[in-house]
Structure 1
């Protein structure tokens, strides 16, 4: 494992030009962009910056800022700030919060329009034993049917795509071109724990004033699938991350600590107490929330949203999707289009993990004094985090589980954005310019703190944008494509050029 502290100089680590050339071309960009002197010069600069740009990604991956473990968070914020300065942002500040700090930066190009960019500098935890190569070394590996990719924690979620956006800024500057829009950059280090303090960053007076000038904001993402297609998402589900804790101490029954399991005949079990509480949260099949009032504010899908989902179902490869997920059928045996509707429409109660007593090799005959369930609750419009937390607590109390603790670690409301917004129109125009097939998607089932931007007091459109490909977020062998063998899938230079083109498209679009 590479120790970040062995680096001789943080600035030396992040100096460099734009992204590594992949050698693969998208369907049209070479001929289209060659006709534009700005883009031709920027592409040349991007290709010239290959080695330094690749090093920038690898060195960032080598610094594993992990909020859940309070690991390298101060260093992560400082490194993020240095990346921003190196990319040309004139004002950069580290923003303290009640948790881990955020970073705020502005790049004033004297342009008429301003774009917001959201970064996260934290990553998920990892177990090196589960990886085929050390997760901080970012080794280059062959991916059959795709090309060469970097494997490392944070490669696709989210450091690879974010570094690719920075590469576009480096390339524009190296080409001697002026940015067509101003940029407001806002970063956090707690996305992977539910962004519990991010609103403190976004609503700091100078940050809020800058964000409200933006046409919209997006998080860079490697959004192409293995065939080169993308989805333009018009929203995402909200989330609450929490744990439920049943303990003998709070319950007043059962042991306060672990005792011998033979005593179960006369001592209550906090573990079974937790299981019984969990069973009340969902229907017997585990598929539908049963918390009182959970659906009273849920907005049904519109006919337009159902039509968009129907188009996605027609063009998607259902068999391949099942293979990737390791499943053989969808809930209730639903056909694919109805399963996709359910994916967008339904709130969920999911058990991430259950922990009690001994879980190592062999047996250890104990009756645990405490049991913990890690949950995530996905929310849809028009649910809110505050409403959901109240209803969960009231439900447990009503069913006789007032002793079961609800410890919320983070979360946020659902995000929605209009397809008529300038942000979405620019995404579609940029994908079209690159010859990338783009499909409108009403809502992704995943979550990000976009509601921080779409809701008051910021109130601007928010979404995801980016070419390129990667996979394995939160999992072993997470990867980000570097050299694409598929002419329809962007490698790093093509993805870099996608971000550069977005800036010009936003400046020009009506």
Structure 2
């Protein structure tokens, strides 16, 4: 097992047993540290943004190159009806096969909002954490993925064959709701390889300030969409922008959209009010409530609030009830509103069009198809048939048994590293794990990793390279953490 001395930073603790296979790998990871950081910085400098159709072909080719360099064979870029994906295998002659899910796309960014250039990968000091690399994709998801690749590079240099076979599947549309990912997973060459896997995971580096991690037994589903109100579709109001003095006699598509949005939630905006929205929602089980209570008791509420930048939970709920809502409740969230003039000063116009960007988070036993159908029916029934609904992507919720082999291997890996890990019902965020857990693939799917980063989708997104917190791994420790999981799965 990987030796970790709790009083030492991970970078030192990894060297505690230099004669063991893990010790040899730790030395190789340290030797390759500069190259691993350079690889991550170069990857961040090439942003693939599906929403903007930016560098998608280049991003897929770069991902394919990363896979080949790490030892994957038969690597190919696979076309879909949208943006391409990447597939590769690593046959190590092992009886067990593990799947790796990667995404090579990132969210949009505005450089003016960043304190460090978003494509430069500059390393800065993060008080309380250590030195961190700042850039778009640093934690979501290129940093963790590059760290896993660093572990594979170290194994190759050390002449150590991984004790499991690996299957890699990477997509470029995760940040727009993975609209074509099922095409990749069910491709004639991909599906047979995936079905051999004992499970699949997405690399993550989400340690909290006390070194804690969650083993998520699922994730919420999501629907990403736009609602559009326009004078043209409504038949009222202007078809384009006109002078605001005309509001005295002309209807406003912007207010039309606001009124439609108000029907989707309760007056405080905290609970979905879409007709029939909760009829298939599965209540938390007794076991899930038990896991939440354990997680709440072992977490520092003040630190959680500080990391999120909040001072209150909904309705001033106690911490346990707040995170119970996070795990159990479907949500209707406005992620952006666009209408009329938004520059400096005023422009006194009556806009002819307004757009709301929404994401709907889903819990078991909701489905994406049900959510889309009910939202459309709700808008129509409440007198808004003209409000357009443009869905860009989404997928169902994910559930995994706590007795799954991959989950047990994660528990053993974290324990071997001295990392406090709590089982948790489901990730409040979303990823297309349901593509794997549902037929025809039907394998467990989850996240795994030590290390730390934050700021996903936000300015100044970062990933810790050298940790000053003795309970949190830096990049080298996180790389060895992924190797530990591989060994634990082989032995489970």
TM-score, normalised via structure 2 length: 0.97
Answer yes or no: is 1:398 the counterpart of 2:386: no
Gaps of at least 5 residues in structure 2 are 1-7
Look up the match of 1:24. 9
- Secondary structure of 1:444's counterpart equals coil
1:66–1:122 contact (8 Å) kept in structure 2:
yes
Q: Distance in 1 between matches of 2:187 and 2:397?
A: 22
Please point out which of 125, 132, 145 is paired with 1:149.
132
2:73–2:88 contact (8 Å) kept in structure 1:
yes
Q: Distance in 1 between matches of 2:365 and 2:62?
A: 37
Q: Distance in 2 between matches of 1:126 and 1:238?
A: 24
- Secondary structure of 2:418's counterpart equals coil
Q: Distance in 2 between matches of 1:307 and 1:49?
A: 43
- Of 406-415 and 311-320, deviating more is 311-320
Q: Distance in 2 between matches of 1:500 and 1:379?
A: 33
Q: Distance in 1 between matches of 2:418 and 2:308?
A: 28
The runs of 4+ residues in structure 1 deviating greater than 3 Å are: 26-31
Q: Distance in 1 between matches of 2:439 and 2:35?
A: 40
Answer yes or no: is 1:126 the counterpart of 2:136: no
Please point out which of 452, 457, 468 is paired with 1:474.
457
How far the C-alpha of 1:222 sits from its partner, in A, is: 0.4
Q: Distance in 1 between matches of 2:176 and 2:169?
A: 17
Answer yes or no: is 1:419 the counterpart of 2:399: no
Please point out which of 293, 300, 309 is paired with 2:276.
293
How far the C-alpha of 1:491 sits from its partner, in A, is: 1.2
- Of 321-330 and 284-293, deviating more is 321-330
Q: Distance in 1 between matches of 2:114 and 2:53?
A: 22
Q: Distance in 2 between matches of 1:404 and 1:396?
A: 8
Answer yes or no: is 1:348 the counterpart of 2:339: no
How far the C-alpha of 1:26 sits from its partner, in A, is: 7.0
How far the C-alpha of 1:206 sits from its partner, in A, is: 1.2
Q: Distance in 1 between matches of 2:395 and 2:252?
A: 34
1:26–1:489 contact (8 Å) kept in structure 2:
no
Q: Distance in 2 between matches of 1:308 and 1:126?
A: 36
Please point out which of 288, 295, 299 is paired with 1:316.
299
Please point out which of 415, 424, 436 is paired with 1:441.
424
- Secondary structure of 1:205's counterpart equals coil
1:26–1:436 contact (8 Å) kept in structure 2:
no
Residue by residue over 1:420-455, the C-alpha shift from the partner in whole angstroms, topping out at 9 and shown as x without a partner, is 000100111001111111111111111111111011
Look up the match of 1:363. 346
Q: Distance in 2 between matches of 1:265 and 1:132?
A: 44
1:298–1:381 contact (8 Å) kept in structure 2:
yes
How far the C-alpha of 1:139 sits from its partner, in A, is: 0.9
How far the C-alpha of 1:40 sits from its partner, in A, is: 2.0
Answer yes or no: is 1:261 the counterpart of 2:256: no
How far the C-alpha of 1:353 sits from its partner, in A, is: 1.2
1:27–1:488 contact (8 Å) kept in structure 2:
no
Equivalences for 1:327-342 in 2 at 5 Å? Answer: 327-342=310-325
Look up the match of 1:186. 169
1:299–1:381 contact (8 Å) kept in structure 2:
yes
Look up the match of 2:122. 139
2:14–2:23 contact (8 Å) kept in structure 1:
no
Q: Distance in 2 between matches of 1:314 and 1:71?
A: 44
- Secondary structure of 2:10's counterpart equals coil
The alpha-carbon distance between structure 1 residues 338 and 278, as it changes in their structure 2 partners (threshold 3 A), is same
The alpha-carbon distance between structure 1 residues 328 and 40, as it changes in their structure 2 partners (threshold 3 A), is closer
Q: Distance in 2 between matches of 1:179 and 1:224?
A: 25
Look up the match of 2:73. 90
Look up the match of 1:18. none
Residue by residue over 1:379-403, the C-alpha shift from the partner in whole angstroms, topping out at 9 and shown as x without a partner, is 0000000000000001111111111
How far the C-alpha of 1:157 sits from its partner, in A, is: 0.7
Residue by residue over 1:147-193, the C-alpha shift from the partner in whole angstroms, topping out at 9 and shown as x without a partner, is 11111111111111101111111111111111100000000011111
Look up the match of 2:4. none
1:26–1:434 contact (8 Å) kept in structure 2:
no
Indicate the RMSD between aligned Cα atoms, in angstroms: 1.3
TM-score, normalised via structure 1 length: 0.93
How far the C-alpha of 1:314 sits from its partner, in A, is: 1.0
Look up the match of 2:5. none
- Secondary structure of 1:502's counterpart equals helix
- Secondary structure of 1:112's counterpart equals coil
- Secondary structure of 2:464's counterpart equals strand
2:11–2:476 contact (8 Å) kept in structure 1:
no
2:92–2:163 contact (8 Å) kept in structure 1:
yes
Residue by residue over 1:174-226, the C-alpha shift from the partner in whole angstroms, topping out at 9 and shown as x without a partner, is 11111100000000011111111111111112101110100000000102112
How far the C-alpha of 1:27 sits from its partner, in A, is: 9.4
1:237–1:443 contact (8 Å) kept in structure 2:
yes
How far the C-alpha of 1:323 sits from its partner, in A, is: 2.6
Look up the match of 1:497. 480
